[in-house]
Structure 1
Amino acid sequence: MAPRPVPPPRTAGAAALAALLLATGTACSGGSDGSPNAEVAQQSAARDRVGTLSIHSAQGSRACTASVVRSPGHNLLVTAAHCVQNQQVGLLDGLVFTPGYRNGATPYGTWQVQSITVDPRWADDDDPDYDVAFVTVGALGGRQIEDAVGGNPLGTGKGVGLAVSVTGYPNDSDEPITCAVRTRSQSSTQERFDCGGYTDGTSGSPWITGDGTVVGVIGGFQEGGDSPGTSYSVAFDQRVADLYRKATT
């Protein structure tokens, strides 16, 4: 039987969740090897589909980055699985998504996370080859998130060597950063890119091609990367296509 999206079953204190998320929502990069460094992302309608995952409110403890993907319910985000579940706490509750967040402004409001879908191999073992999650958010003001900001199509089976932009929110910044890079193979199940600046909070940042397709999110190996200059993603292949199908049926 295909697993279904399940609402978070456990409650933990905000302080405990914050400490855990700040520890795990990591994708560390630098520029010491000559790779480029990310720059502040200029505001655009497309970038407003990317936002922060935080605890309880837009001003709450910052966890990770997520983005809106197209779905039949118009209510779906994609992020890294370690941003929303791990062996220590289980499925996290109290998370909210704020698209287009900048300098305290919430131009599209803050959307409550309702359900989370991860692969059983992540849920059971924190397997880095399945570090991707789909998250639904509730309606706000009678509208679904995709109707408010649009959504990017999900792309699987695209291979490596793709030109992408990666936009995300470091925890120490109130503005998103972005970098134009090219994807590379890390292994048969993992991909990578080289660009500095993707520190704590940028896990879950979408890898977006020129036509707006999401082909990766920061996560996977080393929960997104713990060495300067490199970030990782699970290869968006049939595993991710299957997970998306479970999240939308």
Structure 2
Amino acid sequence: MRRTLTVAVATAALMLLGGPLPVAGADGSGTARAADGWSAREAEAFWTPERMASAEPVTPGVPGTRAAKAGIGENFDGIPVVGRMFVMQGGGAYFCTASVVASPGHDLVLSAAHCLLGPDSRQVAFVPRYTRAKPRPYGMFPVLRGTNGRPKVWIDPRYPREGPDRAATVDAAFAQVGPDAEGWRVQDVVGANRLVTGATYTHARVELIGYPATSARPRRCHNRTTKFTSTDPGIPGSFLRIDCTGYPGGTSGGPFLAHYDPQTGTGEVVGVIGGWKTGGTTPDTSYSSYFGKEIRKLYETAVAGARGA
């Protein structure tokens, strides 16, 4: 059983955010408010601690056995740049993992495409370092909406057109989040990982962080990555592979962090859980789409879109 649910379509819109930090409301007050009315305070009122705790993973849990030479995962209290992405789909509350990626606007987060592709995704919000005990330690950052009312998410157009198997090599998505309830942008509050594209498939050490559905806290593990080339003609391409124990549903979108610095809690993001069979078929081996020129182009499109270009 694959780690993800299949969803149908996605769209992206552009909006300009400008001005100094923190961002003031249109009335000149210090209250941050998105132009379409989906503000941080409204996101906090909607995503109560109880609703967040009851959210299910976008992906169902997957049984499996421990992989050979796997890194041993452990639950921990998390790091500020990684959190849960909450989304309402079809009347249900769901979540994936997401992380802040450095951008000129200080307002982009990165996850897997299959996490944010739902045709009826609404009330989408990012919560850095979420745990059940401390559900909003750094506030809540709502994913902005475009003029069409859809969340501002950038996904390679091949992914909704060809589906998660044929387009598994581009299973990544960027989303623009608005300021928190105090008016601060996410990167200024928690920092950011640096996006790296065009690197090798093989890294001597990668920190893998995700939010398992089975845990009240996130999970971390480190191990080397290897190159995996699919022999399934229905899922073509090459992917990063890492053996780390205990990454079931909910961990999709979790970052692969190379050169991770425990002092700053940041690193170079070279992948996210997703791609081959949308992240893997057992919880002890995870995959990522290769971050090459396609992901770089997608990032540049998101940066331009977030600026209103």
Q: Which of the five TM-score ranges fits, normalised by the shorter chain?
A: 0.7 to 0.9
Within 5 Å, give how 1:30-45 maps onto structure 2: 30-43=65-78
Residues 77 and 129 in structure 2, CA contact (< 8 A), matched pair in contact too: no
**Is 1:247 aligned with 2:287?**
no
**Is 1:70 aligned with 2:102?**
yes
- The answer for the alignment partner of 2:228 in structure 1 is 186
In the superposition, the TM-score normalised over structure 1's length comes to 0.83
Superposed CA deviations along residues 182-227 of structure 1, whole A, max 9, x for unmatched, are 1111125311111110001000000001251000000001110113
State which of 121, 142, 149 in structure 2 corresponds to 1:112: 142
Higher radius of gyration, 1 or 2:
2
Residues 68 and 76 in structure 1, CA contact (< 8 A), matched pair in contact too: yes
- The answer for the alignment partner of 1:210 in structure 2 is 259
Post-superposition offset of 1:90: 2.2
- The answer for the alignment partner of 1:234 in structure 2 is 289
Post-superposition offset of 1:95: 1.6
SS in structure 2 at match of 1:72: coil
Superposed CA deviations along residues 38-68 of structure 1, whole A, max 9, x for unmatched, are 111344xxx2100001236xxx934200000
**Is 1:134 aligned with 2:174?**
yes
| Inter-CA distance 132–194: structure 2 relative to 1 (3 Å threshold) | same
Query: Partner letter of residue 247 of structure 1?
Result: A
In the superposition, the TM-score normalised over structure 2's length comes to 0.68
Residues 30 and 198 in structure 1, CA contact (< 8 A), matched pair in contact too: no
State which of 210, 224, 231 in structure 1 corresponds to 2:279: 224
Quote the Cα distance in structure 1 between the aligned partners of 2:63 and 2:300: 30
Within 5 Å, give how 1:120-199 maps onto structure 2: 120-126=157-163, 127-140=167-180, 141-162=182-203, 163-187=205-229, 188-199=237-248
Query: Partner letter of residue 198 of structure 2?
Result: G
| Inter-CA distance 71–142: structure 2 relative to 1 (3 Å threshold) | same
Post-superposition offset of 1:178: 0.3
Quote the Cα distance in structure 1 between the aligned partners of 2:100 and 2:253: 11
Post-superposition offset of 1:34: 4.5
**Is 1:24 aligned with 2:63?**
no
Structure 1, unpaired ranges of 5+? 8-19
SS in structure 2 at match of 1:108: coil
Query: Partner letter of residue 255 of structure 2?
Result: P
Residues 27 and 202 in structure 1, CA contact (< 8 A), matched pair in contact too: no
**Between the two proteins, what is the percent identity of the paired residues?**
36
Query: Partner letter of residue 240 of structure 2?
Result: E
Residues 28 and 231 in structure 1, CA contact (< 8 A), matched pair in contact too: no
| Inter-CA distance 244–32: structure 2 relative to 1 (3 Å threshold) | closer
Quote the Cα distance in structure 2 between the aligned partners of 1:28 and 1:92: 27
Judge which range, 91-100 or 135-144, deviates more.
91-100
Quote the Cα distance in structure 1 between the aligned partners of 2:274 and 2:63: 11
| Inter-CA distance 143–228: structure 2 relative to 1 (3 Å threshold) | closer
- The answer for the alignment partner of 1:14 in structure 2 is none
- The answer for the alignment partner of 1:49 in structure 2 is 81
Residues 25 and 63 in structure 1, CA contact (< 8 A), matched pair in contact too: no
Structure 2, unpaired ranges of 5+? 1-10, 15-54, 145-151, 230-236, 261-266, 305-309
Query: Partner letter of residue 212 of structure 2?
Result: P
- The answer for the alignment partner of 1:93 in structure 2 is 122
